[in-house]
Amino acid sequence: MSDSITDIETNGVERIPDEDRTARPLDLFRLAFGGANTFATCVLGAFPILFGLSFWQGLAATALGLVTGALLLAPMALFGPRNGTNNAVSSSAHLGVHGRVIGSFLSLLTAVAFFSISVWSSGDALIGAAHRLVGLPESDWTFALAYAVFAGLVLLVCVYGFRFMLLVNKVAVIAASALFVLGIFAFAGDFDPSYAGAFESTGDPLYWPSFFGAALIVLSNPVSFGAFLGDWSRYIPADSPRRRVMGAAFLSQIATLIPFLFGLATASIISSKAAQYVDPAAPNYVGGLLAISPGWYFLPLCLIALIGGLSTGTTALYGTGLDFSSVFTRFSRVQATFFIGTLSIAFIFIGRFALNLAQSISTFATLIITCTAPWMVVMILGYVTRRGWYDAEALQVFNRRQRGGRYWFTHGWNWRGLTAWLLSAVLALLFTNLPGQFVGPLGNLVNGVDISLPVGLVLAAVVYLGMLALFPEPRGVYGPDGPRLVRSSDRPVPAITDEGQPVAEPAAAR
């Protein structure tokens, strides 16, 4: 692939040739941070205040959720450099060559949800700021125009591909961060770090449910990148130090403390000035932000909306188009990106103007993250037990419409990983407790505390390792050093066949 941003990327999910893998861990940092350095993250940062926490309590909940989520996300960056493909394809090693569609499906739903949130929040902020700045009318037509411009620009960048997206995020990381920092001067006079919140003490029966609920909402932001990190890290050379790759992913999420703090601080100002902005069932953070902003900060708000919406949208949509082309191989990456992008844009307009799904999509995104986290645990533990060893050619069996290979397992399905994911995801959904939005049948079992993600994470780890111990995988799926922590079986690995004819045994990945 050419390094020029004007050349449309032609690589799909096939293993990226070594000569094309010229990205650095710093590029991964820029893409992951740029995709989260937006208004959508500010809205998430406002939730601790919307849930009634004080500023300092909200900061503690934010730090807990952010660090925990970043630690969980970091290992997901290792699959791309190792296998030269995206994470959904890499999941073939643990879910089977057909079971990898689970990752593709999760990434599709996550991308559409976060793409929609990004376009809606950024479009609303842009039109609201322009209304205050130059008197632009706030009508369905102006909102529709803003959404169309955002979505069209995002689709254009995604069609051009990785290099163009990297350029956009290089600019977004610096520009959006500077504009958020500028907000210190805009709101310093109104900000009061002693903002007390709604709870007189931590002994209030609703305090801990609110604290952990806020932390889990923050945690969902890093987790949402789990299915997408391989889309970008696959351009990093395979011999790159693992600590640098993981460090880039980890620090990219820690850096989002900038927009999280912006949302937390401004939400405390909004809450202290206007009670109508603190309804957790229907938060109006963007409207409140515009109400308290000084006139000179409207233009920076417009720029944040434009830059942030473009950055988040591209990181969400690019990977989904890429993965769709691997599931439906008749589509090229460009065709798949255009197809998924068009459907997503239609969903945005229908949801915003016909069905009023703007609030529901936030709940939907949180539930998708609840299902994605156990999938990530299976991937991470699979990486550990395999000692990071993979057969890059065998991972491509599904994409090439072949059969057999190291990851064929049972007719293309590895029921060990699938069982761990399905059980933990279903139980996690039962424990979900999103006040005013969605409460599962077991959501109130722990005094209203949402423990869905902890339940899903722990159960996925226990069940998956238990399945590997009780039903060992074939020795052939492990590298020359054998498995770690678990044992293997002597079951033979079927040869890869293409249209009924055997294919030469592929060389294993490094």
Q: What is the pLDDT of residues 305-314, one digit of tens each?
A: 778 777 777 7
CA distance 306 to 169: 12
- What are the residue ranges in the chain where pLDDT is below 50? 1-2, 275-283, 500, 502-510
Q: What does the radius of gyration of the chain's CA atoms come to, in whole angstroms?
A: 23
Q: Which fold has domain 18-502?
A: Hydantoin permease (1.10.4160)
**Structural domain spans, the chain:** 18-502
Cβ–Cβ < 8 Å for 407, 96: yes
CA distance 474 to 487: 9
Length of the chain, in residues: 510
| pLDDT cut 90: percent of the chain above it | 40
CA 404 to chain centre: 31
CA distance 271 to 54: 10
Across the chain, how many H-helices and E-strands are there?
19, 6
* pLDDT tens-digit series, residues 114-151: 777 778 777 887 788 788 778 888 888 898 888 888 88
Q: Where are the beta strands (DSSP E) in 15-127?
A: none
CA distance 495 to 404: 5
CA distance 280 to 52: 9
Q: Which residues pair with 438 in a beta bridge?
A: 434
* Residues in Cβ contact with 411 at an 8 Å cutoff, skipping those fewer than 6 apart: 98
* pLDDT tens-digit series, residues 222-242: 998 888 888 889 999 999 999
CA distance 321 to 156: 12
**pLDDT of the residue at 372:** 92
CA distance 496 to 400: 11
* Residues in Cβ contact with 490 at an 8 Å cutoff, skipping those fewer than 6 apart: 474, 475
